[in-house]
Amino acid sequence: MTRLTDLPPAMATRLAELECPDFATQPWVSGPPLNERRVAIVSSAGLVVRGEMPFRGRDPDCRVIPGETPPDRLLLSHISINFDRTGFQEDWNVVFPLDRLNELAAERIIGSAAQTHYSFMGATDPVLMEPHAREVAGRLKSDRVDAVILSPV
Amino acid sequence: MSALGHYLEEEGIATVAISLVRPQTEKTKPPRALWVPFELGRPFGPPGDPVFQKRVILAALRLLERAGGPVLIEDFPDDDPRARPDSAWHPPMVAAKLEREIGSLHDAHRRWVAERGRTTVGLSGLSIEECGGTIAAWLRGEVPESPRDGVSAPLLLRFAVDDVKAYYLEAAAAGAARPSSRQLGDWFWERTAAGAALHALRAACLASEDERLKLIAGNFIVPALRVQNPG
């Protein structure tokens, strides 16, 4: 469990005290009911489709994950060794819940799943990721996505 | 992660973040976040449990329909059921390594017997290979039958464990040097496949439903001084 009390003290302190961006604005976008939304996954797990360049250290850009990617094509290249990978090894939905998203779409609980999903490297300075995140926003809008679930590791 | 939400939301796309480290989320103040009490690396919880995973993702997505933001942080109420240990699991390799390691100590043990004229191996009545095989079988989740009248399978296991310990510690003390008991214990419990096997055997037996086996596992396999993660 990621209750800080369950982690080694030094790690808990580092995680709790990690410097985080202090934004001047607090954006809030509303939208239609869930069953009309088109949902994409944006992960910070350093996910990469097999054969493409893994994240090298703290690359600030993103990798594209097409919606038809099969589970055996998705790898995890996050730089940190301090999180569990066995869950992802057994079932990619633990990190990248594409099957669940497709099921929710089939059940008409969400409107649809996006054509394309994205991954960043979560250990990167968020300030360096900003231009890439804004570029991803443009791509998401081209795909008519109006809801994103952000998934860390 | 929450910073990405901020950027995407500024661009006009609604977001909800899964949060694994709540203090970080509280500092970054994303528009919406669902804190989950799962270990790092498992943002959607247990592998192989679509029903639970769907509850998580839906709890997050439902925040998109809520008013009251910006900065809406909710807690998912349930722990990951796969965080609990499974007593049916047995570590691979440990049993095979034990059996190989026993063979590799034959020469040293023969030397001990030649030097001292005796051995304390023999409680089980099994050969040392059979002792290793008995422990290996239990580690694989099997319950080998006891070939001795009046000696139950768990009791035979206890004797086999004692014989393996004696065999190793005698083999280790062969030669002119006079290692301390601490040196020998450190070696056996921390650096041999047998030590690892007995730690694993203790853990597996303690998770058993068999009260007699639990008693043996708790008291007669690993000395209190050497028990890992007590409690």
Does residue A106 contact residue B50 with C-beta atoms inside 8 Å? no
> In sequence order, what DSSP letters do the residues of A40-97 get, joined into one string?
EEEE-B-EEETTSPPP-SS--S-EEEETT--GGGEEE--S--SS--HHHHH-GGGT--
Question: Which residue does chain B place closest to A14, by CA atoms?
Answer: B24
Confidence of residue B94 (pLDDT cuts 50, 70, 90): confident
User: Using alpha carbons only, how large is chain A's radius of gyration in Å?
Assistant: 16
Identify which of B40, B82, B83 has the shortest CB distance to residue A153: B40
So where are chain A's domains?
A: 35-151
Q: What six digits make up the tokens of A108?
A: 């008409």
Give how far the C-alpha of residue B191 lies from the chain's centroid of Cα atoms, to the nearest Å. Answer: 17
Which of these ranges, B54-63, B120-129, B207-216, has the smallest mean pLDDT? B207-216
State how far residue B94 is from chain A, nearest Cα, in angstroms: 20
Per-residue pLDDT tens for B7-36?
Answer: 999 999 999 999 999 998 998 889 999 999
The residue ranking higher by pLDDT, B181 or A135, is A135
Confidence of residue B231 (pLDDT cuts 50, 70, 90): very low
State how far residue A51 is from chain B, nearest Cα, in angstroms: 23
Q: What six digits make up the tokens of A104?
A: 């929710």
Cβ distance of B47 and A138 shorter than 8 Å: no
Per-residue pLDDT tens for B40-83?
Answer: 999 999 999 999 999 999 999 999 999 887 889 999 999 999 99
Give the closest residue to B54 by CA, choosing from A145, A86, A33, A93.
A93
pLDDT over 80 (residue A5) = no
| B90 exposure class (CB count in 10 Å sphere: 0-12, 13-18, 19+) | middle
pLDDT over 80 (residue B89) = no
Confidence of residue A17 (pLDDT cuts 50, 70, 90): confident
Note the pTM of the prediction, 2 decimals. Answer: 0.74
The CA distance from A137 to A146, in Å, is 10
pLDDT above 90 covers a percentage of chain B that reads 68
A contacts of B27 (beta carbons < 8 Å): 20, 22
Taking CB atoms and an 8 Å cut-off, how many pairs form between chains A and B? 206
Identify which of A2, A16, A146 has the shortest CB distance to residue B38: A2
The CA distance from A102 to A114, in Å, is 9
Calculate the alpha carbon distances from A121 to A13, A60, A153, B68, B192 in Å. Answer: 22, 7, 10, 30, 39
Question: Which residue does chain B place closest to A138, by CA atoms?
Answer: B11
Q: What six digits make up the tokens of B150?
A: 């009046």
pLDDT over 80 (residue A42) = yes
